[in-house]
Structure 1
Amino acid sequence: MRLSHLADYAVVLMTAAARREPGGRLSATELAAETGVPLPTAQKLMSQLSGAGLMTSVRGAGGGFSLARPAADISLADIVEAVEGPIVLTLCSDGKNQDCALDAHCRIKPHMGVVGNAVRGALNAVPLTSLCSPASAGGLAQ
């Protein structure tokens, strides 16, 4: 499994926002300049993250984007799902009827929800705060 560029960029933008004082606002232009994410992409992602309830936006002078809740209460799963949609590992396990040549004989399909839930659980266990601190040599900082 690999995150798309958009999901990766969303994580980068969210960590930049999380490093600010609580309630501190940033424009998409400031976030793009700070992170290197192209401005049109930053604008698109900030809109998606706001729509998912992870960011709040205020228009006008003094406006900008800020985290909608404390960074400790936002998980990597929240960010990925805001951009990618529900975390599923196969097309047939997303609850939609996908055409698959193996569907009539597949014994794995009923179990893929369990696998997807395990992956989501692992991503859910990574709070945004842990992505804002320096990484330790062995993995994520705690």
Structure 2
Amino acid sequence: MRLSNLADYAVVTMHAAARHCGGGRTSAAELAAETGLPVPTVQKLVSKLSAAGLLRSVRGAGGGLQLARPAAAISVADIVEAVEGPIALTACVEGQDCTIGHDCSVRPHWPVINTALRGALADIPLTRLSAEVA
């Protein structure tokens, strides 16, 4: 399994936004400069992350973007789902057609696997991404 580039970039963008915690605000252009991502990509991500309630935009003088909740309360799962939708390794779990769906003995087990994967990502708060890797 591999995350899409957009989901990867969303985690990078949120990590950069978290560095502005404590009342500091930033902009999509600043986040793009800090991450090395193209401004249009960051703008698209900001829209998705805002719609998911992870970022908020403050208007007016001194306005800008900030985390919508504390970094410790935002998980990698939250970020990935904001961009990708529900975490699922197979399409059949999402109700999409499968050529062997009616005979598949594994299908009933995919929700357990998906829940475990989501749980692992949910256990990684945004603050942990700032910790030094040993």
Say whether the fold is shared (TM-score over 0.5).
yes
* Structure 1 runs, 4 residues or longer, greater than 3 Å off: none
Which letter maps to 1:25? R
Asked whether 1:54 is paired with 2:54, we answer yes
Distance 2:99 2:9 in 1: 35
Aligned counterparts of 1:13 and 1:23: Cα–Cα separation in 2: 17
SS of the equivalent of 2:56 reads strand
Between the aligned partners of 2:128 and 2:47, the Cα distance in structure 1 is: 24
Long gaps (5+) in structure 2: none
Structure 1 portions without partners, runs of 5+: 137-142
* TM superposition shift of 1:132: 1.6
Match of 1:99 among 90, 97, 109: 97
**For residue 112 of structure 1, what is the aligned residue in structure 2?**
110
Aligned residues: 134
- 1:128 and 1:21 map into 2 onto residues whose CA distance is 11
Name 2:8's counterpart in structure 1: 8
Determine helix, strand or coil for the equivalent of 1:57.
strand
Contact 2:21 2:66 in 1 (8 A): no
TM-score by length of 2: 0.96
Q: Report the CA distance between 1:22 and its aligned residue.
A: 1.8
Does the CA-based 8 Å contact 1:23-1:67 persist in structure 2? no
The 5 Å alignment of 1:67-78 reads 67-78=67-78
Distance 1:7 1:104 in 2: 32
Verify: 1:25 aligned to 2:18, yes or no. Answer: no
Counterpart Cα distance in 2 of 1:107 and 1:10: 35
- Aligned-pair distance for 1:90? 0.3
Greater helix proportion: 2
Q: Aligned equivalents of 2:60 and 2:36: distance in 1?
A: 24
Of 117, 131, 134, the match for 2:132: 134
SS at match of 2:101: coil
Tell me how far 1:59 sits from its aligned partner.
Answer: 2.7
